Amino acid sequence: MNRIIMFFKAKSIGLLIGILWATLSCFTNTLDPAQAIGVSMQTGEAHQLATYFDKDLELRIDPVGVNFSSIQANQAEMIMRSFFRKYPPNRFQTVDQGNTPHLKYTTGTYWSGSRTFQVNVLMHQVTPGHYLIHSILVND
């Protein structure tokens, strides 16, 4: 009898975790791209940021000598992961956001230790209401 109860408790906990994960996944996917960028920069989550990358993008990170006018999304994700490891985030603050009918941009300040970086992200519309990151520029 106890094994049956423990079996159902384990199944219930697994089901609850699955529902919670699915709910959180849906919530994070509904974030505005500019908000998602802010969250990703604040937490140093390169993978989360990369979900908004176009298949090829411009990536310039002056403090580490990265300067690609066109790089594949998976390579850009690895470089951003390396940047976040070298300069872990203390804080990220969005300074300005704007948009035109087919573009959005976000400008922010990224703090890591005693260093401060300016971050500029340009997104372009790929389908109505759906934007992907076309360019990331990081300067100190």
Tens-level pLDDT at each residue, the chain (140 residues): 566 555 555 455 544 444 444 444 444 455 777 888 999 999 999 999 999 999 999 999 999 999 999 999 999 999 999 999 999 999 999 999 999 989 999 999 999 999 999 999 999 999 998 999 999 999 99
Query: In degrees rounded to 5, what are phi and psi of residue 87?
Result: -125, 75
CATH ID of 33-139, from 3.10.450.50, 1.10.357.10, 3.40.50.10790, 3.90.950.10: 3.10.450.50
What is the pTM assigned to this prediction?
A: 0.76
Note the pLDDT of residue 12.
Answer: 55
Question: What's the rounded Cα separation, in Å, for the pair 134 and 6?
Answer: 51
On the 0-12 / 13-18 / 19+ scale of CB atoms within 10 A, 90 is middle
Note the pLDDT of residue 21.
Answer: 43
Question: What's the rounded Cα separation, in Å, for the pair 37 and 105?
Answer: 10
Please measure the distance between the N-terminal and C-terminal CA atoms of the chain and give it in whole angstroms: 64
